[in-house]
Amino acid sequence: MKILLTGGTGYIGSHTAVALLEAGHDVTLLDNFSNSKPAVLDRLHTITGVAMDFFETDVTDEAALTEIMKQRSFDAAIHFAAPKAVGESMEKPLHYFKNGVGGTVALLQTMADHGVRNVVYSSSATVYGFSDDLPLVEGAPTVVINPYGRTKLMCEEILQDLCRADERWNAIALRYFNPVGAHPSGLIGEDPQGVPANLMPFVAQVAVGRRPELTIFGDDYPTPDGTGVRDYLHVMDLAEGHVAAVEHLASDPGYDVINLGTGSGISVKEIVAAFEKASGMPIPTVIAGRRPGDGPASYADANKAASVLGWRATRSLDEMCADVWRWQSQNPNGYGD
Ligand SMILES: NC(=O)c1ccc[n+]([C@@H]2O[C@H](COP(=O)([O-])OP(=O)(O)OC[C@H]3O[C@@H](n4cnc5c(N)ncnc54)[C@H](O)[C@@H]3O)[C@@H](O)[C@H]2O)c1
């Protein structure tokens, strides 16, 4: 298949590009570099031996998208491009609605105009909020707890409406749990700008000496060791989930929503212990109070992905930590400037 990846130089997009090429697909990347670096393209070339087709474009720019669609033909798009920081979304909601929702509408309109009606969308487990009813099944109630989550839910609803209105459309919204890890080459990985908002890159920066300690927010949750539990999955497993999803579009499924997670939860303390083992470095920690908006536990029911897509996460926590450590220790400052 010929596939357009918006946000293709970002963390999940770049790993998915590798998995798609390995599966024999033709890949074109689009990104505005608002949260990634051009160096990713060289790294992808080194890993795959292929100079990937790339457009430096903003996904909200319908005229630019039209030019790309005129120059290239696509069978499907995988739509990653969007800002993704929950805290920032509360300070700059319009930025999130413009890029997250406006970008999705611009992409879908351009696709429709050019007869491309297959799309995989990056949604998030954040749409479930926190529930006592675990594991989280796709039919569980959705709850919006911040503007970022609202953009994800709005885009899911837009895709659902589109598929309802025109049966030629096929759209799969993938609800990711907590992607971590890096490509085993150590050449590409997660490179957050500023203070990492997610646990694993923070732990890795402590291990490599960029930060003195990890603050654990809450050790009095009703979980086995008191710290928060999440469903961490290896980014290469997630990337392969996208290959399965985009290939499934060919069977004309209409609209569907599917969790991508391992189905089991890992605590903050378990992550710290596994990372110390993988890196051989101590991770000093301090305990602080719970953060507003955080909850005790969240993990997926991963059975639908297995039955519909034939996909299951296979990589272990030790593998996730070893791959993050390889990436972080070989690139202490990420992709650099
Ligand atoms: N990483 C996670 O934990 C996680 C979890 C659930 C969902 N998601 C979603 O998955 C997608 C990819 O996440 P990621 O972790 O790879 O993030 P990322 O920031 O690494 O990648 C997103 C890419 O999109 C680009 N981008 C942003 N706005 C753009 C625009 N207007 N035009 C063109 N390019 C633009 C950025 O430069 C970046 O390269 C996002 O939609 C995110 O919300 C991520």
Domain boundaries, the chain: 2-182+232-262+301-314
Strands 76-79 and 118-124: parallel
Task: Report which ligand 1 atom has the smallest distance to the Cα of 79.
Answer: 41
Instruction: Work out the mean pLDDT of the chain and round it to a whole number.
Output: 97
Per-residue model confidence as pLDDT tens digits over 262-318: 999 999 999 999 999 999 999 999 999 999 889 999 999 999 999 999 999 999 999
Residue spans of alpha helices (H) in 97-146: 103-113
Structure tokens at 138: 């796709």
pLDDT in tens, 190-224: 999 989 989 999 999 999 999 999 999 999 999 99
- φ and ψ at residue 240, rounded to 5 degrees: -70, -30
pLDDT of residue 15: 98
**Per-residue model confidence (pLDDT) at position 210:** 92
Q: What are phi and psi of 6, to 5 degrees?
A: -80, 145
Three-state DSSP at 319 gives helix
Rounded CA-CA distance 15/49 in Å is: 15
CA distance linking residue 113 with residue 120, whole number of Å:
18
Find the residues whose C-beta lies inside 6 A of ligand 1: 7, 9-13, 31-36, 58-60, 80-84, 99, 103, 122, 124, 176, 178-179
Q: Any idea what DSSP says for residue 251? A: G
- 6 Cα–ligand 1 center, Å: 9
Q: State in Å: Cα 71 to ligand 1 middle.
A: 25
Residue 337 has pLDDT above 90, yes or no: no
Question: Of ligand 1's atoms, which has the minimum distance to the CA of residue 123?
Answer: 7
Beta bridge partners of 4: 28, 77
Q: Is 335 a catalytic residue?
A: no
Say what percent of the chain tops pLDDT 70. Answer: 100
- Residue whose CB lies within 8 A of the most ligand 1 atoms, among 9, 28, 35, 190, for a mutation test: 35
Question: Distance from the CA of 10 to the center of ligand 1, in angstroms?
Answer: 6
pTM of the model: 0.98
The closest-lying atom of ligand 1 relative to the alpha carbon of residue 191 is 20
CB contact at 8 A, 104 and 155: yes
Candidate list 11, 96, 121, 148, residue with the active-site label:
148
Substitution candidate for ligand 1 out of 9, 40, 122, 178 with most atoms within 8 A of CB: 122
Going by CA atoms, what residue is nearest to atom 36 of ligand 1?
A: 35
User: Residue type at 236?
Assistant: M
Domain 2-182+232-262+301-314 -> CATH class = alpha beta
C-alpha closest to that of 238 among 155, 300, 317, 181: 181
Looking at ligand 1, which residue's alpha carbon is closest to its atom 35? 81
